[in-house]
Structure 1
């Protein structure tokens, strides 16, 4: 019994050793298989990368072909760009000239408005000066009429003065004659009191009082007439001279204003003609400006497209060189 157990033990030990050997071999095989699996996965990944790279290379080759075609078209684009740049330069020159013409037209228009305002102001001033001249003419006529009336009054007063002088002379003659009669009557009849009182009555009362009154009135009339008339005449004459001077000045200024008005009207007519001529040019310039804006927009689009294509070309050139 013990012998069988020992034999079985030996068999189990041998079997265990064999199993351990098999386990070691299996572990070794497992490690080898793991390494092979890792290598296989790495190769698979590499295959995927190579496959992806192959697809990418195919795509890049197709892109390179398309870019080559685009590069061939780039010469045409460059020629078109040169033509567009030449047109752009020409349009810019036309724009500058048209802007200059528009600036001149605006300046002429503003100058025309200024001349119109000046013409209106001069017309208003001319009307005011004409009213002043008419008023001064009326004042001058009125002063002349007043001077004439004063001259007539002066003549009337002179005639009245002369008549008073004649009356005074006549009274003096009468007084002298009456005095002589009284003295001749008094000398031989010195003792006769009635004739003496009669002579004194004839010489003294009424005639002497009237004579004194007339002499006093004559002096007052002379003084008043000479003072007031001379003063009024001098004042009116100075007013008349001032009025004539102002009238002459206003007439001169009126002539100058008329001359200036005619000059401004001629300038306005010339500016209107030039503005009409520039108006037709301005319409043409508006059309040209619209065309220019359209061409500039097209040129801007072409430049944008060209910049994009140049960027693509610059991006592709190093890739093509590397490949």
Structure 2
């Protein structure tokens, strides 16, 4: 994506309709992003500016998902995708609105190109599941590969907040299913977490507020910092995110209402943040946006909100 010196980068165009976008990930000449929808929707681009509709990940529901959440209607939420070695791992949510009868599933593929000879996704089953007896919810997964080779999954929505588990890089599943969860953040309305490392600092991004209400959505992205991936994460004022802390990273601006589901990727020698917003010029339809990520003098990630 070409950056306009002294101004804003261009807004992604074409078919950018997406909600809860995954990390933007490259495979060969194409960039891919996945989102909430029937069978998990996809979009692809060769320049991260012009986007096109791709195929759904699943043609039919995994049997375990239907057995665990019978009412999910083949609609999977908030996927995330990463490359681990020679494979791609795609995590996704199986749930129904307001329920803790939920699961995070995993699909694996050799390539993101559905037309390649080795293309196509394999169901690897559930990574973590919850019931109404749990005080947390197994949705909104975001994978985080650390520099030491360890792989983590941050997830959660409402109830007792955002959790962290360690994964096995070789399989994409939990390293130790009996290991306790790590609590990272809490607020009455919190979800859509993501992790990022810069230097020796880890950053936890979360969404506060309400999604899915078009231009009435109150989503905003908050952030905290830690010296370890397991926390504690503190905001700029030193408030613990487990106790409701979180500094504003990106809020509504102009027609870009309710930004949410931040994800981060490297391209062209720099970091970028992708997210969805509700477009006030399109009746509140959710769409993809991508902005360059900067770092301030205190080492915090910052982004310039769009003004148009």
Larger radius of gyration: 1
Q: Give the structure, 1 or 2, with the largest relative contact order (CA under 8 Å, sep 6 or more).
A: 1
Determine which structure has the larger helix proportion and give its number. 1
Bin for the TM-score computed over the shorter chain? under 0.3
Structure 1 length-normalised TM: 0.14
Determine which structure has the larger strand proportion and give its number. 2
